Amino acid sequence: MDFLQEFSDPELCRALVAQLVEECTEPFRFMEVCGTHTVAIFRSGLRSLLPDTIIHVSGPGCPVCVTHESEVELYLEMACRRDTVTATFGDLMKVPGAGGSCLKTAQAEGAHVEIVYSPFDALALARKYPDKKVVFLGIGFETTAPTIAATIKMAREQKIDNFLVLSFHKLVPPALRALLDDPEIGVDGFLLPGHVSTIIGLEPYRFLADDYGIPGAVAGFDPLDVLKGLLAIVRMKNEGKPAVTNEYRRAVSDQGNPTAVAIMEEVFEPADALWRGIGSIPGSGLVFREDWKDFDAAAVLGLEQKPAKPLPGCKCGDVLKGKIRPDECPLFKKRCTPATPVGPCMVSTEGSCAAYFKYHIES
């Protein structure tokens, strides 16, 4: 069924797994930062093939999962306003707020919510509903932020003045630093996200090796990419030469995509941001620059982020930091299932709890 056969060729994979078994002689904990990696590892069955020496922990790389409780509360409140149309990617629809409501329930109660496939679709909605404010929920990492910035620029060019963005974007490198500063994490190496790296290149990750002595490999999302990335990290460890390498050259250049970065930086600037389960991380969010504030939904609509309590019993923070496996959360598969999610990690298609629920075979 795979049309990218060559990147998931079973023979090549077997050979790489054998090599990993041979070269990875000591237990080794690796964290894949990105939710797409989490799902790829489970979905391809790779997890059942990796040698026992390799311990796999999921990281904070699912944009839905790291969206802070207070951010969810804020956009839910906004969605219920009569003068707004909320445009969002589908995966936010079921993320529960503190009271158990979500965009789906808000929609059922009359909120105007539309699922879009790209921010440009949201711009089209703004044209369609000139009497309303169309707010696109800007949730995502460096991967999505440049496209959203480009959409905002386009809105200005086309003089569309009812298009707004709620920017809850997060940046990956500062989160990795925050994780490494937590003494309890204990990760031996990072599998770095291919999509984000397409934009930012390798430079922003260098501190992993330089400051913390931890190797990292940028990897793609096919099983062979993941295995190549793991082998690169194991080798760097064995040789005692930590570095950040690019194992996804067919998509990622070491320099990233300077044009995309420039557009993102023209519209947004870094600021401190709240991460679910982790707390505030310096410089890890993106807010509107002064020049672009007329597109900032928070400013234009006067929305205020209020303190919100974490969801009772949910261990998302520990899961996102790789401290526990999802099945170690007392609510997993009991009170928390994809149908009755307690936390976003169970809702998002890229969430580790959802991946465990969906793919993991208990032994």
- Our separate counts of H helices and E strands in the chain read 16, 11
Contact (Cβ atoms closer than 8 angstroms) between residue 320 and residue 63: no
Q: Which of 39, 66, 316, 355 binds ligand SF4 (CB under 6 A)?
A: 316
Window 336-355: residues binding ligand SF4 (CB under 6 A):
336, 342-343, 345-346, 353
In the chain, the amino acid numbered 122 is A
- The answer to whether residue 234 forms part of the interface with ligand SF4 (CB under 6 A) is no
Structure tokens at 74: 């804020």
Which residue's Cβ has the minimum distance to ligand SF4?
343
Binding partner of residue 359 among ligand SF4, another protein, none, CB cut-off 5 to 8 Å per kind: another protein
DSSP-derived letter for residue 188 is S
- The answer to whether residue 191 forms part of the interface with ligand SF4 (CB under 6 A) is no
Q: Which of 58, 143, 151, 197 binds another protein (CB under 8 A)?
A: 143
How many other C-beta atoms lie within 10 A of the C-beta of residue 265?
15
Structure tokens at 221: 């999302």
- The answer to whether residue 1 forms part of the interface with another protein (CB under 8 A) is yes
143 vs 167 by CB, closer to another protein: 143
- The answer to whether residue 46 forms part of the interface with another protein (CB under 8 A) is yes
Contact (Cβ atoms closer than 8 angstroms) between residue 306 and residue 74: yes
Q: Closest Cα partner for 5 from 56, 44, 32?
A: 44
- The answer to whether residue 360 forms part of the interface with another protein (CB under 8 A) is yes
Binding partner of residue 316 among ligand SF4, another protein, none, CB cut-off 5 to 8 Å per kind: ligand SF4
Nearest-approach distance from CB 100 to ligand SF4, in angstroms: 13
Q: Rounded distance, CA 290 to CA 267, Å?
A: 9
Structure tokens at 111: 């909120």
Binding partner of residue 47 among another protein, ligand SF4, none, CB cut-off 5 to 8 Å per kind: another protein
Contact (Cβ atoms closer than 8 angstroms) between residue 149 and residue 267: yes
- The answer to whether residue 8 forms part of the interface with another protein (CB under 8 A) is yes
Q: Rounded distance, CA 24 to CA 219, Å?
A: 18
Q: Rounded distance, CA 216 to CA 316, Å?
A: 24
From the list 43-51, 79-87, 166-174, 200-208, the region that binds another protein by CB under 8 A is 43-51
* Number of amino acids touching ligand SF4 (CB under 6 A): 14
- 3-state SS assignment for residue 200: helix
Contacts of 316 (CB under 8 A, 6+ apart): 65, 276, 277, 310, 343, 344, 345, 353
Q: Closest Cα partner for 127 from 161, 150, 151, 152?
A: 161
- The answer to whether residue 117 forms part of the interface with another protein (CB under 8 A) is yes
Q: Rounded distance, CA 286 to CA 47, Å?
A: 34
Q: Which of 218, 260, 314, 355 binds ligand SF4 (CB under 6 A)?
A: 314
- 3-state SS assignment for residue 239: helix
Structure tokens at 108: 């059922």
Nearest-approach distance from CB 221 to another protein, in angstroms: 10
Q: Which of 40, 80, 199, 329 binds ligand SF4 (CB under 6 A)?
A: 329
Binding partner of residue 166 among ligand SF4, another protein, none, CB cut-off 5 to 8 Å per kind: none
- The answer to whether residue 24 forms part of the interface with ligand SF4 (CB under 6 A) is no
Residues lying near another protein in the complex (CB under 8 A) are found at 1-3, 8, 10, 13-14, 36, 42-49, 63-64, 89-94, 115, 117, 139-141, 143-144, 195, 223, 337-339, 348-350, 357-363
Residues lying near ligand SF4 in the complex (CB under 6 A) are found at 314-316, 319, 326, 329, 331-332, 336, 342-343, 345-346, 353
